[in-house]
Amino acid sequence: MIANEMTFGGILIEMLNIARWIVIIQFLMSWLIQFDVLNTRQPIVAQVWTIINRITTPIYAPIRRIIPPIAGMDFSPIIVIFGIRALQILVINSSF
């Protein structure tokens, strides 16, 4: 690992990458569950779904209060991904 990646900014960027992937996984799983590709009655699917929802619900809740689902579409994951990317750009451009 390069020494520059061990800085606080590098660690923060990696944590934001993990957060982004969790949001993407939750988004994809919600569609797969909606179209019965994944079944939440399967124990492993239910366990993963519960864990991911416990992580993402506190992040989505404030956004959902401001922008409720429109025509059944929840835009909070997209807004969170844009927010994560904006934070990454701020961290990259700062002098950590």
pTM, whole model, 2 decimals?
A: 0.85
Question: Helices in the chain by DSSP H: which ranges?
Answer: 8-34, 43-66, 76-93
- Alpha carbon distance 22, 41 (integer Å): 21
Structure tokens at 58: 């506190």
Per the CB < 8 A criterion, the answer to whether 79 and 70 are in contact is: no
Q: What is the pLDDT along the chain (96 residues), one digit of tens a residue?
A: 455 557 888 899 999 999 999 999 999 999 999 999 999 999 999 999 999 999 999 999 999 999 998 998 899 999 999 999 999 999 988 865
Query: Could you state, in order of their start, the residue ranges of all structural domains in the chain?
Result: 3-93
Per the CB < 8 A criterion, the answer to whether 74 and 23 are in contact is: no
